[in-house]
Amino acid sequence: MILATTDGFAQNDPIIEPIDTLYRVETDDGNIFIGKIIEMDKDKVVLEGETIGTITLHRRFIVKIERILGQEITKGDIWYRNLQSARYFFSPNGYGLKKGESYYQNIWVFYNQFSVGLTDRFSIGFGMIPLFFFDFAPTPIWITPKFSVPIVKDKVNLGVGALMGFVVGESVGFGITFASATFGPRDKNLSVGFGYAYAGGEFLNTPIFNLGGLTRVSKNSYLMMETYIVTSGGQVGGISILGARSMISKSAIDYGLAFPFAPDMGTFIAIPWLGLTVPFQKQL
């Protein structure tokens, strides 16, 4: 057995792992080494790997040590975790952030949100569209609390939450309450959900239905989709987003096309979608 610490290498609360556990060690020059830790103290980490042999890394140059989970190893290769498995392009699913996980999400520059897992089942996000940069226009801000409950581990997850917002300068509230059920593991799943939107203190009479999903197609890429459906007066409309997620270095990029649809639309419209996710910390 070896004694291993993580995330800042604090000397308290050590984690004891089997000696054959694989670790990902990142140094301050951007290099990443993968192997078994065969020795570690306050000055050095000795790592042994199939491609790197046995190397010694000085602790002052190490910025992160992460244990590689079993589900990250596919066909003998390491497929890194989905950096934003709790949501698709925009809509949340039944999974949640684990305690200590956090990320920043940006969509087309204007949409900004920071989310953090406070426990393994509860997370919260804080966001804004900073329109005050444009002649002090009214600025939407919001919070997004979310509870996630595993019904069958890695197979069925339920999520409930809300987006509760306020337009600074207009004294107008807005938001949506939602529930979502996700079927399948974090790397390949389908979600169905619904929500009730509100604005100015009044809820819409009909719910917004949501369908979303993703599947991993390579080491660093996912195909994704999500659709929102709204019914009103016996008519159906909404918007679908089709595209992909690619993991590049420490970040994830979402890209695709959004297709609004409605009974009276006479023109086909495709709107480009571009989003960025940057994690700040991962739970091992």
pLDDT along the chain (284 residues), means of 10: 39 42 84 86 87 88 77 63 87 92 93 95 95 79 97 95 92 94 95 94 91 93 96 90 90 95 89 93 44
pTM: 0.77
Listed in sequence order, the residues at least 6 apart from 133 whose beta carbon sits closer than 8 Å to its beta carbon are: none
Q: Are 176 and 164 contacting, i.e. CB atoms less than 8 angstroms apart?
A: no
Supply the Cα-derived Rg of the chain in whole angstroms.
22
Closest CA to 192 of 156, 142, 243: 156
The two domains 2-68 and 102-281 share their CATH topology (first three levels equal): no
Closest CA to 113 of 123, 121, 99, 122: 123
Burial of 51 (0-12, 13-18, 19+ CB in 10 A): exposed
Closest CA to 172 of 191, 148, 153, 198: 198
Tell me which fold the domain 102-281 belongs to: Porin (2.40.160)
Q: Are 164 and 141 contacting, i.e. CB atoms less than 8 angstroms apart?
A: no
- With respect to CATH, is domain 2-68 assigned 2.30.30.100? yes
Domain ranges for the chain: 2-68, 102-281
Residue 155 has a pLDDT of 94
How would you classify residue 60: left for phi > 0, otherwise alpha for psi between -120 and 50, otherwise beta?
alpha
**List of E strands, 155-200:** 156-168, 172-183, 188-199
